[in-house]
Structure 1
Amino acid sequence: MTDDNNVPIHHLGNRYRLIHQVGKGGMALVYEAYDQMLERPVAIKLLRQDFSELQGFRDRFKQEAKSAANLTHPNIVTVHDFGIDPNGIFIVMEFMVGKDLKFRIREKGFFSANQGIPLMIQACNALGYAHRAGIVHCDVKPQNMIVSDDNRLKITDFGIARALSSINEDNKPDVVWGSPQYLSPEQALGEQPSPASDVYSLGVVMYEMFTGKLPFNAKTTDELIQLHQTQPPVPPREINPECPSELEQIILKILSKEPAARYRTADQLGSVLATILENYRKQPTSSRSSAQVPPAFMINNQPPQISYEDYSPGSEKTSTAIDWKLIGLELLCLLLVGGLLPFWLFIWFSIKPLFG
């Protein structure tokens, strides 16, 4: 393994042995590693070495790493440790076997509603939990979503984009914080991101999942940001007619330019997606793509009352409604039988001597 200057790196923090590099971005290198103290595999993100020279960034990154470490959720990659090494700042995370969602999309072309919506419900589950904890991800993209072979999705990199944004403008002339393909219009304007900003970015991910294409493409970052701010996306069904019309309406709502026009939190979006999935699975297979089911938008400015917490990989929700009428009839029969039994015993013992 080597750093940005091609200098071999074998250990970090006198504790973690690097096995091999599994990813590389403009900000960091990602390694599969081994925790020699606790004797377990881990993933390590090693940030660019020049970042470690900035005291303000080190402090902010440590703060964000602590916040991320407090997020304990089945759909969030757990943060184990944080450190500063001569090779740079690094963060130690749970090692998850799987591929990022970007790879999965390229592999499949696009997802069907039945395959893709449960994954997005898991993403909403993770982001909603973070939003309730007061944490906005700020860099939601498929590269930050790891999908295992059994379709468990986990989101990683909470807080890293927020820490990077603390670097002084003079030190980052060539850097856009967040990924411009998935950046919300308000983030591009430098406004404070909110949970609705994460929802917008998740909408871009959904658009890509169900069409195989990004909603906006441009030659430069500035042009791309301009499209996010001004241009409506091509409706998904014009690219993929198999996308259910109800899902298309949801995606277009999420990609609204104004935050107030979207769902305010990932929790709301997750509830709506759970409703869509229920409706979709009840439809005959032959009519799914063209079904005109009324969209599951907000009712009195509130999400539909449906839980999405139990959408675990490989499982479908089953009805657990209790048939009280049937139970009532069974109890009535039991009472009738129980009440008549003493009467028949009385008759039997009364007439038995007559035949004796």
Structure 2
Amino acid sequence: MQPSENLYPRQSGNNDDLNALTGRSLGQFRIVERIGAGGMATVFKAYQPNLDRYVAIKVLPAYHARDPVFVKRFVQEARAVAKLVHPNILQIHDFGEQENITYIVMEYVDGGTLKDRLNVKRALPVPEAVDYMIQAAEGLNCAHNHGIVHRDVKPANMLLRKDGYLLLSDFGIAKILEGTTNLTRVGTGIGTPQYMSPEQGTGQPVDRRSDIYSLGIVLFHCLTGRVPFTAENPLTITVKHLNEPLPLEMLRVAGVPTPIEQVVARMAAKAPQDRYQTTDELITALTSALTASQLSMPSRWRPGMSSAMPRLDAQGQIAADPRLALLRAWGRGRVFLLRRHPPPGNNRVIHNNW
């Protein structure tokens, strides 16, 4: 098996113990190289010989392994998140602890993150941005239906495969960190202030509508090339999310169509009751706004599958065909769901060792 091109963001670090993991093994996984780092974890590319595949291993800070509250929450949440199987959710294969190293084994994605894409392209074309947000919303819908709120929806947690799929990662990490005994917090909410909902930023209980708010801020970023609220410190950003209106003029300057602007404004409404209440409702609004803007989704048909896919009429709907009645009912009328099934041969095997 040949190593694939590595597009994970590389970041420097000074943790010699973690750097020394390269060449060693965690369980059955041999560490190949360090491919990323952030405030909550360091990510390594590793090789799994028995399945002849590469995986990504996220190693959490060593001090967490010594915190019994964290370990308990980690096990509970990892098991819950590992049960989420969806084309737009990064699959967890395994997790464990070895020599005070707590780690999660995940699917390896070779296309970088949405954050990387935005760093290069700044703003995205409207159809591409909406396509990514619908994929993210589909993944969130799966999680929400299982009672899991992401709590840290942001471009850095959206991985992009080279075939056009977006996969959400780091489900439950913020929830695991809430309530740990040795955590130094910024303000009263755990997450990323630039994308955090007002209720999360002020330490209030959150539900699926908080994720919808964060997704709205991500969509704003995709369309304009920047987040709506910035400041020198996280607390000030949180206050802006709480009190300042969304700068819709930035969307207008970027040439975003009015129907799309209206969807973004409702996604990022200050009060949860004023937002879309479910991701299903949001997906319907996004697809309708795209149609109203006379735009269409980017075509991402898989090689060799175009002849098997349903034809679309001029309005982007499935062309009349009695054989597709069942598909139309199953897909709730959304072409998107038909298009988003993994292509044949997509091997997403789950290995949960507990």
Shorter-normalised TM-score: what interval?
0.7 to 0.9
Q: 2:16 aligns to what?
A: 6
For residue 149 of structure 1, report the CA deviation from its aligned partner.
Answer: 2.5
Residue aligning to 1:200: 213
1:118 aligns with 2:125: no
- Which of 164, 185, 192 is the matching residue for 1:151? 164
Q: Does 1:222 align with 2:235?
A: yes
Q: Does the residue aligned with 1:226 lie in a helix, a strand or coil?
A: helix
Q: Does residue 95 in structure 1 map to residue 129 in structure 2?
A: no
Q: Which runs of 5+ in 1 are unaligned?
A: 284-309, 325-356
Describe the shift of the 1:165–1:197 C-alpha distance in structure 2 as closer, same or farther (beyond 3 A): same
The answer (yes or no) to whether the contact 1:21–1:30 under 8 Å persists in 2 is yes
Structure 2 unaligned spans of 5+: 1-9, 303-310, 323-354
Question: Which residue of 2 is the match for residue 319 of structure 1?
Answer: 317
Name the SS for the 1:45 alignment partner: strand
Map 1:180-259 onto structure 2 (within 5 A).
180-237=193-250, 240-259=253-272
Q: Which residue of 2 aligns with 1:172?
A: 184
Classify the secondary structure of the residue corresponding to 1:32: strand
Separation in structure 2 between the aligned mates of residue 12 and residue 55 of structure 1, nearest angstrom? 24
In structure 2, what is the equivalent of residue 108 of structure 1? 121
Structure 1 pair 282–223 and aligned structure 2 pair: CA distance change class (3 A):
closer
Structure 2 equivalent of residue 70 of structure 1: 83
CA, structure 1 residues 48+202, in 2 after alignment: closer, same or farther (shift >3 Å)? same
Going from structure 1 to structure 2, the CA distance change for 1:90 and 1:279 (only over 3 Å counts) comes to: same
The one-character-per-residue Cα deviations of 1:149-183 (angstroms, maximum 9, x if unpaired) are 33211101111111011212x54246862111111
> What SS does the corresponding residue of 2:102 show, helix, strand or coil?
strand
**2:343 alignment counterpart:** none
State the Cα deviation string for residues 112-168 of structure 1 (Å, max 9, x = none). Answer: 212211111111110011111111001000000011233211101111111011212
Deviations 1:21-48 (A, max 9, x none): 1111011001111123433210111001
2:305 equivalent in structure 1 = none
The change in CA–CA distance for 1:319 and 1:173 in structure 2 (over 3 A counts) is closer
Percent of matched pairs sharing the same residue: 36
Q: Retained in 1: the 8 A contact 2:32–2:46?
A: yes
| Displacement after TM superposition at 1:109 (Å) | 1.7
Equivalent residue in structure 2 for 1:39, among 38, 52, 59: 52
Please state how far the C-alpha of 1:4 moved relative to its aligned partner. 5.7
What is the aligned residue count?
Answer: 297
Q: TM-score, normalization: structure 1?
A: 0.77
Whether contact under 8 Å (2:177, 2:183) holds in the other structure is: no
TM-score between both structures, scaled by the size of structure 2: 0.78
Q: Deviations over 1:250-308 (max 9, x none)?
A: 1111111100000112221111111122333469xxxxxxxxxxxxxxxxxxxxxxxxx
The C-alpha deviation readout for 1:2-36, integer Å capped at 9, x for no partner, is: 98631211334332111111111011001111123
The equivalent of 1:295 in structure 2 is: none
Query: 2:98 maps to which residue?
Result: 85
**Per-residue deviation, 1:105:** 1.1
Q: Aligned-pair distance for 1:311? A: 8.8
**Kept in 2: contact 1:100–1:147 (CA 8 A):** yes
**Helix, strand or coil: the match of 1:139?**
coil
Q: Decide whether aligned partners of structure 1 residues 102 and 236 sit closer, same or farther in structure 2, where only a CA change above 3 A counts.
A: farther
Distance 2:179 2:298 in 1: 36
Compute the displacement of 1:87 (Å).
4.8
Q: Structure 1: how far apart are the matches of 2:103 and 2:321?
A: 56
Quick check: 1:136 aligned with 2:149? Answer: yes
Match of 1:227, as an amino acid? K
- Structure 2 residue 24 is the aligned partner of structure 1 residue 26: no
**Alignment-mate amino acid for residue 175 of structure 2:** R
Distance change >3 Å, CA 35–CA 53, structure 1 → 2: same
SS in 2 for 1:58: helix
- Shift of the 135–13 alpha-carbon distance from structure 1 to 2, 3 Å rule, reads same
